[in-house]
Amino acid sequence: MDVLVSGATGLIGSALVPALRDGGHQVRRLTRSGGSSEDAVGWDPSAGTIDAAGLEGVDAVVHLAGEGVMGRWTSAKKARIRNSRVQGTRLLAETIAGLPTPPGVMVSASATGYYGDRGNELLTEESDPGNNFLAGVCREWEAAADPARAAGVRVVHPRFGVVLSPEGGALGTTLPIFKLGGGGRIGSGRQYLPWISIDDVVGSILHILDNESLSGAVNVTVPDPPTNEEYTKTLGHVLGRPTIFPFPAPAARLALGQVADELLLASQRVEPARLRVSGYSYRYPELEGALRHLLGK
């Protein structure tokens, strides 16, 4: 296949692009820097511009681009989080819909933030959305792909859980603290953590591209997610370090504001119902095994 990838230099994209090429696929990268190399296609979502000619002949699109959610959420930061996802997705979907021959599939990223903070409730793709900021962003993000859907493109929204990778994200950024023995649970530690290894993120995207039965929302997490406390203890065990320094909820809110409530303290007991039914085989379904593989332990 000829696959267009946005966000190709991000945490997921930088792992996906080599996997696609190793699998014999051609890759074009959608990039703000424009055509600085043969595989680059230029766009500027904030300006509403894209090189539509560079998309012609593409068989599949994997859309991963968006402003990072970490960092204190000022009004400007929240606007960038929302606009980078909604405007970018709509621009790409409308452009795809207008091509002489649209691609067969668009994999347009979303996140388990769609569900908000839901405590012990078991969440599948059929569950209602939450009512906080990230849930609202995810609803708009997914809806922005409607023009491609209307043009007959199979649109899939992988709702990614917490992606574990030593290169960044929740694991990569906290790893130095845990290695020094300064890690601990966040808040009560009872909040569920829907995680997925970077290997299975890539595996699931490849599976979605090849599996025509999948469309709409697909939870990309492992089954039976652990709580934050269970995750913390497992990471400490793998590293051989204590995890006795909790990060109390009030301190988290003081340090991070709204981010603490929506990212660190929110509970999402997510089940990957559609991924399991479709026959996806996890490479690392168990937390300890995944961490040992990722950290070389």
155-187: per-residue pLDDT in tens? Answer: 999 999 999 999 999 999 999 999 999 999 999
What is the model's pTM?
0.96
Cα–Cα dist 136/129, whole Å: 8
Which pLDDT score is estimated for 37?
A: 76
For 40, the token pair is: 């680059």
117-154: per-residue pLDDT in tens? Answer: 999 999 999 999 999 999 999 999 999 999 999 999 99
Higher pLDDT, 35 or 14: 14
Which pLDDT score is estimated for 166?
A: 96
CB 105 within 8 A of CB 49: no
Identity of the residue numbered 261: D
Cα–Cα dist 45/139, whole Å: 19
Question: What percent helix, strand, coil does the chain show, rounded to 5?
Answer: 40, 20, 40
Pairing of the two strands 2-6 and 60-63: parallel
Could you tell me which of 101, 90, 107, 88 has the C-alpha nearest to residue 151? 101
Region 36-46: what's the mean pLDDT?
Answer: 87
Could you tell me which of 77, 142, 87 has the C-alpha nearest to residue 109? 142
Helix (H) or strand (E) holding 244: none
Could you give the number of structural domains in the chain? 1
232-256: per-residue pLDDT in tens? Answer: 999 999 999 999 999 999 999 999 9
Helix (H) or strand (E) holding 241: none
CB 124 within 8 A of CB 79: no
**For 88, phi and psi rounded to 5 degrees?**
-65, -45
b/e code 145-177 from CB counts within 10 Å (16+ = b): bebbbebebbbbbbbbbbbbbeebbbbbeebee
Residue 33 has pLDDT above 90, yes or no: no
**For 196, phi and psi rounded to 5 degrees?**
-160, 135
Helical segments of the chain, H only: 13-22, 75-97, 133-143, 146-150, 169-179, 198-210, 228-239, 249-256, 258-259, 273-277, 287-295
Which pLDDT score is estimated for 178?
A: 97
204-229: per-residue pLDDT in tens? Answer: 999 999 999 999 999 999 999 999 99
1-17: per-residue pLDDT in tens? Answer: 999 999 999 999 999 99
According to DSSP, residue 113 is labeled G
Residue 133's domain comprises: 2-295
60-97: per-residue pLDDT in tens? Answer: 999 999 999 988 999 999 999 999 999 999 999 999 99
CATH number at residue 83: 3.40.50.720
Region 181-205: what's the mean pLDDT?
Answer: 98
Which pLDDT score is estimated for 35?
A: 57
Cα–Cα dist 249/257, whole Å: 10
CB 138 within 8 A of CB 159: yes
Which pLDDT score is estimated for 97?
A: 97
**DSSP secondary structure letters along 147-161:** HHHHTT-EEEEEEE-
Residue 36 has pLDDT above 70, yes or no: no
Question: Residue for token digits 């906290």?
Answer: 174
Residue 52 has pLDDT above 90, yes or no: yes
Residue 110 has pLDDT above 60, yes or no: yes
HEC profile for 17-33? HHHHHHCCCEEEEEECC
User: What average pLDDT is seen over the chain?
Assistant: 96
